[in-house]
Amino acid sequence: MADMKPLSRRGPRRKRPVTFRLHASIVGTEPPLFRWLEVSSELFLNDLHEVIGASFGWVDRASHEFRCGPAFDDPTMERYICPEAVEDGDTAVPEEQVRLDELITTPGDTLFYLYDFADLWVHHMVLDEIKPRTAKMPRARCAGGMRDCPVDVYGGVAKY
């Protein structure tokens, strides 16, 4: 059986930026560990990586990638990868080439973020709300959440 080519879910960029309210949760934690993020729709994925890291308390010691689609393990999902993965020869799409508004556009749309390929911290992000944007608004902020995040290189959800 031939390998399936990833399905690109990228669409056109918005002409005018808006604010996306994202519900970002770490898959498999009970009770849930999550953050509410309010971010500009024009953020590139490498910038969103920084926002996620700061809001969850990750210190950026591990590789990461984004995936867009309904399920994290869907083999048809296109992957958006960090510079280290590009340097290692991965041929997926570099994250700094993709804006958030190319991947999610409508409340309910989902995006996955995998932090640390050994510990497998899978973050499930859902576009909850779209708000108007003004020039005075920050490009990104953590608007709340629940529970402290484990430290880097902790061992994944099983040890949490």
In a domain, 147, yes or no: no
| pLDDT number for residue 60 | 79
Question: Helix or strand or coil: residue 62?
Answer: coil
pLDDT digits (tens, 9 = 90+) for 67-109: 997 889 888 889 999 998 888 888 889 999 999 999 999 999 9
Higher pLDDT, 19 or 31: 19
Domain that holds residue 52: 25-134
Which ranges of the chain does DSSP label H, i.e. alpha helix?
A: 45-56, 83-87
pLDDT at 2 over 60: no
- Does 153 fall in a domain? no
Q: Which residue has the higher pLDDT, 10 or 153?
A: 10
Structural domain contains residue 3: no
Pairwise CA distance, residues 104 & 92, whole Å: 19
Cβ-based neighbours of 37, under 8 Å, separated by 6 or more: 20, 21, 22, 24, 51, 52, 55, 125, 140, 141, 142, 143
The answer to whether position 48 is within a domain reads yes
The answer to the question of residue 106 being in a domain is yes
pLDDT tens digits, one per residue of 34-56: 999 999 999 999 999 999 999 99
CATH number at residue 105: 3.10.290.30
Task: Name the domain count of the chain.
Answer: 1
Is 87 among the domain residues?
Answer: yes
